[in-house]
A and B are shown apart, each in its own frame.
Chain A
Amino acid sequence: MSTPATLDVDAGSAAPTPQAWRRIQLQEAALPVVVVLLLVAGTITDREAFLTRDNLLTVLTQVSVTGVVAVGMTFVIATGGIDLSVGSMLAAASIAGGLAGEQQSLPFMFGAIGFGLLLGLVNGVAISYGRIVPFIATLAMFAGARGLALWMSDKTPISLLELDIVRDIGRGKTLGIPNAALVFVAVTVGGWVLLNRTRYGRHVVAVGGNREAARMAGIRLSWVVTSVYVLSGLCVGIAAVLLSGRLGSASPVSGNLLELDAIAAVVIGGTSLAGGRATITGTFLGVITFGLVFNLLNLLDMPSELQQLTKGVIILAAAALQRRDL
């Protein structure tokens, strides 16, 4: 083919229309608006209970486990990947921690976080070096890690009532603020800095945005891809500590459907499933949105199936808003 054949490639792909940019901005502004609307709706619904410091801190605490996992998930999705295994890994990490330190907090935490990192590394290596697509690799881990958790625990939860520090992280407060909420906020801030202010974060988004260009720019694709799954494993480990501390036990059946909640929060936050566009702020707001909806419907005594339905509607609406007609 001669040159004109390729010419229309450039001619056809003009810059995005003003409408398209407006849509993107609209989408960026949409979630904060939704959060504000939810707060207003909550206040109207229940003036006494909803807009109180305690209730809002409760929301933050309730979403802390999902939130921490969602931060890691944001990095994975930023590269154009997906991690379906976070729920199973959370159970496996909790059990591993429980086996490492049934009596002492530090071994438990090292065990849980270390095992999370290890499973994340397995995901990463399978995807980047084994060239298995992320969906399949983490689907395998989704099944495998759950099995591992059940097998290691002999299908019974491990009581962690002796672990003061872990329980304090899960249930305690510092200066009146629940520690779990603090951990969530800290992980979010850390994730934000890592994504937006470091070379590593730039490389993550670069890989998701244009693999070929990233390789040409000298970015080590396999390394970056592996690392985001390890990072997801790390977040899972931290979430395992939060959840085990809150429950006072490590359960092999915990974390069920966690992957869906985390992915949903990331996606409604505005991170592109195709990769290349990621926002930790959006993820945080996405997590909060689901938390507020849950909280609000609870206050209204709505049945849980209605909560699920609402969640579905929110995901669909967010996805429709994100559609880019370029």
Chain B
Amino acid sequence: MSDPAATSPLLEVRGLVKHYPGVRALDGVDFTVAAGQVHCLVGQNGAGKSTLIKCIAGLVTPTAGQILVEGAPLPLGDPATALARGVATIYQELDLVDDLTVADNLFLGHELRRGPLLDRRVARRRTTQVLERLGHPEIPPRRLVGSLPPAAKQLVSIARALTRDARLLIMDEPSAVLGRHEVETLFTVIRRLAAEGVGVVYISHRLEEVGGIGDTITVLRDGRTVASDLPASTPRADLVAAMVGRQFADVFPERDATRTLGPVVLRVEGLSRPPAVHGVSFEVREGEILGIGGLVGAGRTELLRLVAGMDHPTGGTVTVGDRLLPPGRPDIATRAGVGLAPEERKAQGLWPGWDLVRNVSVADLRRFRHRGLLDRRTERREAQRHLRDLQTSPDDPDRLVGELSGGNQQKVVLARWLLRQCRVLLLDEPTRGVDVGAKAEIYRVVQTLAAAGLAVVVVSSELAELVGLCDRILVMADGRATATLDAASATEADLLQHALPLTEEAAAP
């Protein structure tokens, strides 16, 4: 299907680099898509896939590198021009307006008008034409998008890209919300467009699917292209090997293999909240670090929230010590000794406009009550002690949390739970947005806490982190626990095998 005859490829990415403070999201990516080609992009969480497509779409300005469309450089960080040059991106969360009709959605932002009024009749006619081109004239232009099934919404998104004369279609995890038959429908449409000469970048975690739809496959790892233009027939195991790559065990402190674990502190049984979490059970002992691995969307964050009482489960129980926690009561979970450090630290875990003291003491102000009033001197002293113990920098208690780096903000949340003397610490992506040096710090802190008898649960998308930091690893896929691995012997490849959801046979042609 690819067209090697074309002189300059439809899209060419050369040496693309994107640095965030402390993080190299992209570190030299080369990537080429020919007209009529379906090019699949795979990689672990954090490999740089999303950053790459955001750079191509113009939503993110790369630090260095070039993006060429049909041989001509694309101005960087300019979404309007990217769109005008025929680059259309269909994101995982579809950006359709549910309360508008199919036709209105297609022409949203470039409405067809007759005089000052909308020309809805022509819009509907052109909508029908585009949907016919996709082979799906059965989608009524007048229907509200919100009432359509996911696959049809997906098609509407594609149709919308086509009304803007898209030559290159970038699809980020398009199959994530689709059932098996719907995926097949999507593939038919993609093949049809490719045959018309549209280039497609297809991103997916489902490796079987990639083999089924792609002409070529490129693997990203740590922001670099590690394998490019692999044939679609590349075996799954080879792809996994390319995705996993390097080791960096040296970041992780040596563990004392002789230490003994205490009794079970946290017992989770059959915890469910569809569609995110389905009947997950596990136990954590005093002094143990349990990792929870899986891809983004596997239900890990949702699981932690259920354990902490933040959301109401539809079934299952959480027991801390010998205390059965009532569902949906974070206050009681906190009192029982559960502390959650959320992934979205600023949005969910901190008061950025407050000083460090208040952020640390907020979960346990009862301790500082003296005749009904807060004893602010003791509050400050205690908060400062915990911040120093964690080597927070700066440890000036009057600084505002919003001014701290990601790693130090994480320490503020940890200090809060230490002050609260919690027994179970739930950490959701504790090193996200944290630079490499601070990561090692946080690993050290987590291990120290475990050694002191806390039960720790760590959700992480970095497989190396799970293997290096944890004692055991629970792997989740599609809301279910798929395996429990012993971290001492587990490899990243093992983990990835269990974390990749299986699409079964149907998606392949």
Contact = CB atoms under 8 A, between A and B. Distances in A.
B102 to A, nearest CB: 26
A3 B21 CA distance: 14
Interface in A176-225: 193, 197-199, 202-203, 206, 209-210, 212-220
B345 to A, nearest CB: 8
B432 A216 contact: no
A202 B374 contact: yes
B45 interface: yes
Contact of B358 (A202, A212, A219): A202
Nearest to A197: B373
Given A1-B173, A2-B44, A219-B331, A213 B349 contact: yes
Contact of A198 (B50, B340, B372, B416): B372
Nearest to B409: A10
Contacts of A3: 45-46, 296, 432, 461-462
Contact of A199 (B43, B349, B354, B366): B366
A6 B347 contact: no
B172 interface: yes
A4 B46 contact: yes
Contact of B362 (A4, A5, A13, A206): A206
Interface string B235-256: 0000000000000000000000
Interface string A3-37: 11111111101011000000000000000000000
A311 interface: no
Given A2-B43, A4-B48, A217-B363, A277 B353 contact: yes
Contacts of B331: 215, 218-220
B420 to A, nearest CB: 8
A212 B347 contact: yes
Majority secondary structure of chain A interface residues (helix, strand, loop or mixed): helix
B323 interface: no
B245 to A, nearest CB: 15
Interface string B34-71: 00000000011111111100100000100000000000
A180 B347 CA distance: 43
A276 interface: yes
Contacts of B334: 216-218
B374 A197 contact: yes
Interface string B412-442: 0000100010000000000011000000000
B310 A2 contact: no
A4 B349 contact: no
B377 to A, nearest CB: 12
A199 B365 contact: yes
Contacts of B420: 218
B362 A7 contact: no
B interface, how many residues as a size bin?
Answer: 35 or more
A199 B51 contact: no
A171 to B, nearest CB: 33
Contacts of B372: 198
B353 A276 contact: yes
A1 B349 contact: no
B49 A2 contact: yes
Contact of B46 (A2, A13, A277): A2
Nearest to B297: A1
Interface string A119-152: 0000000000000000000000000000000000
Contacts of A217: 334, 362-363, 416
A6 B432 contact: yes
A198 B44 CA distance: 48
Nearest to A206: B362
Nearest to A196: B374
Given A202-B374, A216-B348, A276-B353, A5 B50 contact: yes
Interface residues of A, number: 34
A133 to B, nearest CB: 20
B51 A15 contact: no
B142 interface: no
Interface in B172-201: 172-173
B346 A13 contact: yes
Given A2-B461, A7-B20, A216 B351 contact: no
Given A3-B432, A209-B354, A216 B25 contact: no
Interface in A214-267: 214-220
A11 B351 contact: no
A138 to B, nearest CB: 26
B47 A2 contact: yes
Interface in B331-385: 331, 333-335, 340, 342-344, 346-351, 353-354, 358, 362-363, 365-366, 368-369, 372-374, 376
Interface string B310-344: 10000000000000000000110111000010111
A212 B25 CA distance: 29
B266 interface: no
Contacts of A2: 43-50, 296, 461
Contacts of A213: 348-351
Nearest to B334: A218
A10 B362 CA distance: 23
B332 to A, nearest CB: 8
B46 A206 contact: no
B287 interface: no
A5 B23 CA distance: 12
B311 to A, nearest CB: 10
A218 B51 contact: no
B402 interface: yes
B403 A15 contact: yes
B351 A276 contact: yes
Interface string A90-102: 0000000000000
B406 interface: yes
Contacts of A4: 18, 20, 23, 25-26, 46, 48-51, 223
26 contacts: A2-B46, A2-B461, A3-B45, A3-B46, A3-B296, A4-B46, A4-B51, A4-B223, A7-B20, A7-B23, A7-B432, A8-B20, A11-B20, A11-B21, A13-B346, A197-B376, A199-B368, A199-B374, A203-B365, A212-B310, A213-B350, A215-B330, A216-B308, A216-B340, A216-B342, A277-B353
Interface of B: 18, 20-21, 23, 25-26, 43-51, 54, 60, 92, 172-173, 223, 296, 308, 310, 330-331, 333-335, 340, 342-344, 346-351, 353-354, 358, 362-363, 365-366, 368-369, 372-374, 376, 400, 402-404, 406, 416, 420, 432-433, 461-462
Interface of A: 1-11, 13, 15-16, 193, 197-199, 202-203, 206, 209-210, 212-220, 276-277
Given A2-B48, A202-B358, 8 more contacts: A4-B51, A6-B343, A10-B20, A202-B374, A203-B365, A206-B351, A216-B330, A217-B363
